[in-house]
A and B are shown apart, each in its own frame.
Chain A
């Protein structure tokens, strides 16, 4: 464990708490893409189900359980408790265009052609693109509540911090995980535009608004 990865994971944790806080305080899931959240459930379940047969560490175990449980809970809040506040007419990204190619990539690029390893690859590719419905929705509405942008910033920071972690591990341990690194770079790049607007508006105390 190095500091980059620790702060990356903490940032990921923070993003979940920010999202839960947003839903609870505004009593609404307005501005949150249900499709992105559903993809995260698929990502975490397919990747972290290995807690059933693989023991890494207590830290690893607790985090995995937390991410599976919290993502399911968020889906429950969106689908049941705050259902009326979700507007599917603006959450229109075609998810099938993501899942198909990711499944194909997972079949080609994996560390071992076994069910669980292909599933792991799929979760990595899917995670890298899971934010697209959310960003697409942001693009459509052209603005976002400040709390929602903090959520996205924390989520983006998580994968961004994994990049120096990989560089550090390459030099200190001599290991590299090309699948995770490639997908991680793509995922971080997707946030570039968002981060630019976030730092030039929200951090300066203005509302997040995309140029028309």
Chain B
């Protein structure tokens, strides 16, 4: 499981 910031979300 990757923990990261979803850059495509607003």
Interface residues of A (CB under 8 A from B): 1, 5, 9, 12, 54, 56-57, 60, 63-64, 67, 111, 117, 120, 162, 165, 169-170, 174-180
Interface size on B, residues (CB 8 A): 10
Given contact pairs A111-B5, A180-B6, enumerate 6 new A-B contacts (beta carbons under 8 Å).
A5-B9, A63-B10, A120-B5, A169-B6, A177-B4, A177-B9
Tell me whether A174 and B5 are in contact (CB under 8 A): no
Tell me whether A60 and B3 are in contact (CB under 8 A): no
Residues of A near B6 (CB, < 8 A) are: 169, 175, 177, 180
Question: Which of these, A12, A57, A117, A174, contacts B1 with CB under 8 Å?
Answer: A174
Interface residues of B (CB under 8 A from A): 1-10
- Compute how far the CA of A176 lies from the CA of B3 in the bound complex, rounded to whole angstroms: 5
Most buried by A among B4, B7, B8, B10: B10
Q: Could you list 23 examples of A-B contacts with CB < 8 Å?
A: A5-B9, A9-B10, A12-B10, A57-B8, A60-B10, A63-B10, A64-B10, A111-B4, A117-B5, A174-B1, A175-B1, A175-B3, A175-B4, A175-B6, A176-B3, A177-B3, A177-B4, A177-B5, A177-B6, A178-B3, A179-B5, A180-B5, A180-B9
